[in-house]
Homo-oligomer: A and B are copies of this chain.
């Protein structure tokens, strides 16, 4: 499902050029014109497929490439010195993974496919060269990286200020808007990640996540059967996600 549109639809995997990839407006929005895109096209290795649970790259290994998610979903996590995992992000089609290691020797995090996932590999040395000649691309990369910083700051806010219910409402809404951006249903979708991953990402215990899901369901806010989620009351969830700091 949600296969990028391609000119020559060959085999099960679409060999799309950047120029014709339906995700290009997410992965590399506006900034680039057609001639720029075709230059980028040449440095990208397409059609790298990972099945559920496979590592795309892992922490402390040499950093060579960024990856654009084409289909499926990816989680990134870091292993702390004390040995436990902290998920730092979920990446959906059209999003760029690996920016936290840009211009660094080694990967700062580990990326794992949450389901069968198709990515485009973008070698950084080639990318950095290309950036020299394409001002638009440079600007765009700065933009993506700063967005990544802001995302992480948002996560910090969530973790330090919000209750379990607020965190989960916020995550559901974030996923919702990302599905919407891809022209998919914003109210009915499949969670790519397990409850465990949600808990880890949001700094909660799995049990708490489970409890909140059933509570939301009892309140009529969502309908959840396993990973199949339907958002019934978007407004109510939005209100909840904001939190009740000073009413």
Contacts and interface: CB of A to CB of B under 8 A. Distances in A.
Interface string A141-179: 111011111101101110111000000000000000000
B140 A88 contact: no
A245 B83 contact: yes
16 contacts: A78-B157, A80-B245, A82-B246, A83-B245, A83-B246, A86-B160, A100-B146, A102-B146, A104-B146, A108-B150, A109-B153, A128-B135, A131-B138, A141-B142, A148-B149, A159-B159
B142 A103 contact: yes
A132 interface: yes
B102 A142 contact: yes
Contacts of A103: 139-140, 142-143, 146
Interface in A66-103: 78, 80-84, 86, 88, 99-103
A138 B125 CA distance: 12
B84 A245 contact: yes
B245 A100 contact: no
Interface residues of A, number: 47
A40 interface: no
Nearest to A81: B242
A156 B149 CA distance: 12
A146 B63 CA distance: 12
Contact of A138 (B132, B150, B160): B132
Contacts of A108: 146, 149-150, 153
7 closest A-B pairs by beta carbon, nearest first, are A160-B203, A152-B152, A103-B142, A103-B143, A159-B159, A102-B146, A100-B149
Contact of A149 (B131, B152, B203): B152
A16 to B, nearest CB: 26
Contacts of A159: 156, 159-160, 203
Contact of A84 (B145, B146, B153, B246): B246
A4 interface: no
Contacts of A242: 80-82
A247 to B, nearest CB: 9
Contact of A102 (B131, B143, B152): B143
